[in-house]
């Protein structure tokens, strides 16, 4: 992989700095090159290239909004078609904890990111639309607004691919593109009687509730905005490890609430830009549900109880 990264970057120097990071999905390390220090995430599983393609496009899309900082993506690197090993090379940032005034800036800047597509739609009167599928290796014009829900490429929340097929309707997209695929994966692993009793009424309630929202302008989302994916650099907020798509702006709060780590300053600053709408808390249950089910898929039955409890609460709300 070292040789492949050196070729992709056009560098003669590729030396570990001795610092690294990563999580339960991929490992990461920083390297000195003759073009500066870079951070490299790598993964050897089948599908790693697609996962990193999706992350790169998400980082590119966030960067293009000029609203909130994220690491600039440089390249997705592979060895050859017979080897699943892949890597994502990106800007190396010396990150610190997000706290204090950084949280308020994070809320304000996240809201501006969520509003970016709306701003493009208001500025550009065109019949053209950015709602097209890409390979991840094609050039994307992120300044063309989108009018549908989905994304240019599949992305991954964890290691599970989200197809993100464009849909005209948010409620349909959320149920069919986000929730149902993970329900199907769980049933493929092992049929769960309680899951299959609770899912139909829960599904119906989600569709009914989200349909009542009326017109929703698609917002660019981070998609996996938990406290482990936020930081600060030189007093400015940074977000990373996105699982991006265009959806309802409130969706990003689902996992934020699930794991906590966001201060009241964050929420106040966000809602000063995008006021909290009626029914917000009820919808957060629905958006948090995806992440409980996704964690059940990734990490097993320790998330079964919380998933079923949320489904029961939603169905009875």
Alpha carbons 147 and 45: distance in angstroms, whole number: 34
273-303, pLDDT tens digit by residue? 999 999 999 999 999 999 999 999 999 999 9
**The last residue of a domain, from among 26, 61, 91:** 91
Is 96 part of any domain? no
Is the per-residue pLDDT at 100 higher than 80? no
Q: Per-residue confidence at 23, pLDDT binned at 50, 70, 90?
A: low
Look up tokens 């995430």; give the residue.
41
State whether 152 and 84 are in the same domain: no
* Residues 133 and 263 placed together within one structural domain of the fold: yes
- Predicted confidence at residue 312, as pLDDT, reads 98
Domain final residue, candidates 45, 66, 91: 91
* In a shared domain, residues 106 and 83: no
DSSP string, 31-54: EEEBTEEEEEEEE-STTHHHHHHH
Whether the per-residue pLDDT at 214 is higher than 90: the answer is: no
Residue 245: C-alpha distances to residues 28, 88, 255, 279 (Å): 24, 19, 15, 23
Flag whether 20 is in a domain: yes
Q: Output the pTM of the full model.
A: 0.95
Residue from 60, 224, 252, 265 carrying the catalytic annotation: 224
Query: Does residue 256 lie in a domain region?
Result: yes
Q: Structural domain of residue 70, as residue ranges? A: 2-91
CATH code at 63? 3.30.200.20
Region 49-67 average pLDDT: 97
Q: What is the mean pLDDT of residues 38-61?
A: 94
Look at residues 247, 253, 254 and name the one whose alpha carbon lies nearest to residue 267: 253
Note if 224 is an active site residue: yes
If one counts the domains in the chain, the total is: 2
CA distance 223 to 248: 11
CATH number of the domain encompassing residue 176: 3.90.1200.10
- Residues 126 and 149 grouped into a single domain: yes
* Range with lowest mean pLDDT among 121-125, 261-265, 267-271, 297-301: 121-125
């Amino acid at each position: 992989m070292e040789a492949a990264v050196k070729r992709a970057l056009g560098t003669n120097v590729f030396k570990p700095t001795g610092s690294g990071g990563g999580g339960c999905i991929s490992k990461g390390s920083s390297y000195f090159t003759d073009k500066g220090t870079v951070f490299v995430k790598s993964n050897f599983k089948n599908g790693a290239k697609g996962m990193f393609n999706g992350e790169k496009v998400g980082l590119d899309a966030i960067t293009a909004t000029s609203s909130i900082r994220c690491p600039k993506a440089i390249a997705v690197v592979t060895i050859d078609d017979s080897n699943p090993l892949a890597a994502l090379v990106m800007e190396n940032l010396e990150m610190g904890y997000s706290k204090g005034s950084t949280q308020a800036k994070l809320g304000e800047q996240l809201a501006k990111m969520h509003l970016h597509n709306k701003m493009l739609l208001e500025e550009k009167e065109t019949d053209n639309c950015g709602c097209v599928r890409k390979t991840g290796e094609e050039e994307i014009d992120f300044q063309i607004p989108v009018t549908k829900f989905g994304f240019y490429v599949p992305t991954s929340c964890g290691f599970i691919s989200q197809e993100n097929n464009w849909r005209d309707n948010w409620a349909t997209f959320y149920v069919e593109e986000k929730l149902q695929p993970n329900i199907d994966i769980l049933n493929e692993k092992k049929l769960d009687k309680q899951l299959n009793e609770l899912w139909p009424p829960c599904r119906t309630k989600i569709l009914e509730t989200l349909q009542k929202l009326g017109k929703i302008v698609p917002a660019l989302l981070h998609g996996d905005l938990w406290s482990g994916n936020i930081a600060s650099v030189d007093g400015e907020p940074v977000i990373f490890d996105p699982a991006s798509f265009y959806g309802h702006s409130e969706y990003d709060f689902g996992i934020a609430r699930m794991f906590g780590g966001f201060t009241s300053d964050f929420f106040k600053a966000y809602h000063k830009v995008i006021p909290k709408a009626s029914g917000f808390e009820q919808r957060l249950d629905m958006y948090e549900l995806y992440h409980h089910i996704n964690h059940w898929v990734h990490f097993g039955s320790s998330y079964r109880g919380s998933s079923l409890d949320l489904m029961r609460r939603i169905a009875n709300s």
